Amino acid sequence: MEQTVTVFSGFSAQDLLFLGEAALRTLWISLLSIAIGSLLGGIFGWILYETKYWGGILVNPLLDMFRSVPLIVQLVLFYNFAPIVGLNLDAFESGLVVLTMYTAALVANVARGGIESVGRSMRIASRSLGMSYWQDMRYVVFPIGTRAIFPSWVGVALGVMKDSALVSVLGYVELVKASQVLITRTQEPLLIILVVGAFYFVLSYPVSRYSAKLERRWSQ
Amino acid sequence: MIKVNGLHKYFDDLHVLRGIDLEVQKGEVLSVIGASGSGKSTLLYCINGIEQIQEGSVYVDDVDVHSKATDLNKLRQRLGMVFQQWNSFPHLTALENVALAPQIVRGLTKAEAKDIAIKQLEHVGLGDKFDVYPNALSGGQQQRLAIARALAMDPQYMLFDEATSALDPELVGEVLDTMRVLAEEGMTMICVTHEMGFARDVSDRVAYFHEGVVEEIGSPDQIFVDPESEHTKKFLAKVR
Ligand SMILES: Nc1ncnc2c1ncn2[C@@H]1O[C@H](COP(=O)(O)OP(=O)(O)O)[C@@H](O)[C@H]1O
Ligand SMILES: [Mg+2]
């Protein structure tokens, strides 16, 4: 039987490269949104902790919204409505904005818990040494609080990395989007999903390992 | 000199301090005794400006603690304070615990702060614990660390708020000994304490607190041997 030209061709080394690049995009958009989102989340957490009133009526409902509306809905809504207010963002930028706010909303509560974990009596002790409010924050509350919330924060970060897959709906070619393209062409969904799974594992495993190591060091 | 005049303190409707007059001279050791809830801790917090007051005044070396113009962070360097909970900074070694405030508050160099920390840790008998983290120290050692940390600010006064109350009985002695050494060195101290033996042996004067007032104040002999107030007698009978 003659070999015919097929639309479908097998999984090749080039495809692996294609997935590798997509993995880098997943990593890039995750890293950026985790970094910026954590920073914002820290600030929101501080507002929640420090200003019971404004935090309660302004910040909390806003964060609740980001936490409770499914990410995929947020992405589609933002991508389609941003141009109306004059923001012309591409898929990556839209995804970044939404993922960042989502991360910030999750981190805010974690961060507030971190500040709360440093008891009143510890705060009074550092103020009694003559530290200012900000010195107490910087040298006592921050290091103690971050250690306390570190495991939850790692959980949020790994979650965001996985959730970044949803940016694929906007056409940003990260791992999941890339896999869809390849699956359509090669018709080898199982193999490709395995490879994609492996990529996610490679991205997140070092993070969990390293964080476990840090935790062990801090608890010694 | 610490001078408290007609001090009233409320927590909302709760009238916690009801007119305190008190003077502590340089070099003096004053012990404050009294039932739990009588306002002893609150008084110390009013002296170093952690709590606001509603009436009266507190002067530390002629600085009006509760004046708006007072730089509390600066004032507090003159008032070392040690608490029931030792509050060691868990993320720092013993040496770093002591060196932190001298460096960031007093503005000393790292080397200067380290020298002071070494000196003060040796002072409280922790000369072999420089690089140890607090969770590897016993309660008594952590409380001595807290004393060293306060002393590193070179305070003129030390306020102790039940420094031994949270300790296992066998660890109380080492902390009291450290406080005793400070008293002998001439440190001015206000010690809120339930250790009647310490109050009796070490203090120049003892104040008995009852429901937000200084019910009775005098020499240890006067308070412990020959108290005038019925409340004082009752309290002493109970703690003996
Ligand atoms: N931050 C606070 N807010 C409200 N009430 C307080 C606060 N701190 C202390 N109190 C109350 O003030 C009273 C005196 O407390 P405190 O000074 O701690 O007594 P003591 O140290 O003699 O045991 C108690 O009734 C206590 O419940
Ligand atoms: Mg108390």
pLDDT on residue A220: 65
The pLDDT assigned to A8 comes to 65
Cα dihedral sign, A87-A88-A91-A93 = negative
Q: Where are the domains of chain A?
A: 13-219
ipTM: 0.93
Q: The domain A13-219: what is its CATH number?
A: 1.10.3720.10
Which of B50, B73, B83 minimises the CB distance to A132?
B73
Confidence (pLDDT) at A96: 95
Span A133-160, average pLDDT: 95
How many angstroms separate the CA atoms of A71 and A167, rounded? 9
Alpha helix stretches (DSSP H) within chain A:
13-50, 52-54, 60-68, 71-81, 91-117, 120-128, 133-136, 142-163, 175-186, 189-219
Residue nearest to atom 3 of ligand 1 (CA): B11
Q: What is the mean pLDDT of chain A?
A: 90
Work out the angle at residue B70's Cα, subtended by the Cα atoms of residues B72 and B191, and round it to the nearest 5 degrees: 50
Query: What pLDDT score was predicted for residue B4?
Result: 97
B41, B46, B104, B137: which to substitute to probe chain A, counting the most A Cβ within 10 Å? B104
Residue A57 has pLDDT above 90, yes or no: no
Residue ranges of chain B with pLDDT lower than 70? none
Of B103, B27, B126, B9, nearest in space to A130 by CA: B103
C-alpha torsion angle, residues B105, A124, B118, B127 (rounded to 10)? 180
Six-digit token string for A84:
């109306």
Q: Is B73 on the interface with A (CB under 8 A)?
A: yes
User: What pLDDT score does A1 carry?
Assistant: 47
Asked if B78 contacts B188 with a C-beta cutoff of 8 angstroms, the reply is no
Residue B83 contacts residue B192 (beta carbons within 8 Å):
no
Output phi, psi for A126, to 5 deg: -70, -35
pTM of the predicted protein model:
0.89
pLDDT at residue A54, rounded to an integer: 78
Q: Considering only A42-56, A104-118, A143-157, B138-152, which range has the smallest mean pLDDT?
A: A42-56
Q: Do A130 and B48 lie within an 8 Å CB cutoff?
A: no
pLDDT at A6: 55
Angle at B83 between CA B77 and CA B84, to 5 degrees: 175
Torsion of CA B50, B163, A121, A215, to 10 degrees: 150
Kind plus residue range of the DSSP H or E element containing B196: helix B196-202
How far apart CA A182 and CA B95 sit, in angstroms, is 59
pLDDT value, residue B92:
96
Q: Which three-class secondary structure state does DSSP give residue B59?
A: strand
pLDDT value of position A5: 53
Q: Which residue has the tokens 């080397």?
A: B111
Q: Do B149 and A129 touch (CB under 8 A)?
A: yes
CB–CB of B105 and A121 under 8 A?
no
Query: From the CA of A157, how many Å to the nearest CA of chain B?
Result: 23
Q: Which of B8, B9, B10, B11 to mutate to test the pocket of ligand 1 (most atoms within 8 A of CB)?
A: B11
What DSSP designation does B107 have? -
Q: Predicted confidence band at A9 (pLDDT cuts at 50, 70, 90)?
A: confident
Radius of gyration of chain B (CA): 18
pLDDT at A4: 53
